[in-house]
Structures are given as C-alpha cells and as structure tokens.
Amino acid sequence: MNKKTRYWVRRLIFVVLIVMVGYTIYQMSSGGKQPDRGDVSPNFTLTTLDDKKMSLSDLKGKGVMLNFWGTWCEPCKAEMPAMEQVYKKYQDKGFEIVAVNVGESDVAVHSFMKSYNLSFPVWLDPDKDVTRLYRVGPIPSTFFIDEKGIVARQNMGELNLAQLEAYINEILPKK
C-alpha cells in the first residue's frame, strides 16, 4: 500500500471508531430512565421469599412501597424497623410493601428477616433484572406507587418513620 492509501485507510478507521463510540454512548444514555413521579411503574415478576411467583401488577388497587435493599447495607438495616411498623399499621388499609432484595441468596435473606423479626413480603431479585429495570443505583432506593400503578414519589437513601408515614399517606387508596 502506498503512503496516501494508508493515510486514508487510517482516517476511515478513525472515523468509524468515533462513530461507534458515539453510538455506544448515545445508546447507554437513552437506554431508559429511572421511573419518576407521574410515570407508570414498570411491571415485573419475581419469586417471593416464601417461593411464590408475584407480579407488581397483582397489587394494582393498593398503594405500594417498592424498596430495593440488601442485608449488608447499613442504611437498609436502619430503616427496617420503621418499615415493619408502617407495614403492620397500614397493611389492612390498602397498603403493601414489596421489599426487593438485590442479588442475595434466599438463605441469607431468610436469616436476616428472622433476626430482625420482619413480617412484610420480600421478593428476590438474584440476577438484578428488576434492579436494572428500575435503574437503581445506591440502595436503599424506594418508589412509592399509587393504586393506579403510577409512581408518586421516589427516594434514594434511608427513610425514617416520619417520612414513611407521610409518603404512605400520599399513596393510600382513596375511598
């Protein structure tokens, strides 16, 4: 190959690489967004800790607190007693907790639930498919979903009892 041909081949390869990198960045940035206030919450199906298949759509008509957590996460541990408290208070008023454990074994999760004396439902996301669907970064991450399946609020980080009470009251079904 002569010098001029090599020059144009290199330029062409460079341009193709730039286009490919640009396209990759575009795809990653536009590949979806985290559900936000007013968005329809994406439906999913997972297996619960007690080995039942459940879908988020099964809970339509209820206010749902969708919480992503892990047994190793200190802020997650800190909010669990308050979550149990609001679960007991509001479960008969059209409220449900969907506590999605991110990537851990059912044995570890069961042990954690027992040691914290927690009774709310836990859904297992061992492959993190739902975690990716909701574009969850740091945990705990929580989405409050109204009875129509619309995201009313999202929160990244630990929630205290007062926050939980206020946010749950926003999503309780209207009678």
Listed in order, strand segments (DSSP E) in 77-148 are 95-102, 122-125, 141-145
Mean pLDDT of the 27-36 span: 61
How would CATH label the architecture of 45-171?
Answer: 3-Layer(aba) Sandwich (3.40)
Contact indicator for 7, 15 with CB cutoff of 8 Å: no
pLDDT tens by residue, 70-108: 999 999 999 999 999 999 999 999 999 999 999 989 899
Domain ranges of the chain: 1-31, 45-171
Contact present, 156 and 79 (Cβ < 8 Å): no
Q: How far apart are CA 103 and CA 125, in angstroms?
A: 6
pTM to 2 decimal places: 0.80
pLDDT level of residue 36 (50, 70, 90 thresholds): confident
- Residue range 37-50, pLDDT digits in tens: 888 999 999 999 99
Sheet holding 53-55, edge to edge: 53-55, 45-48, 122-125, 95-102, 63-69, 141-145, 151-156
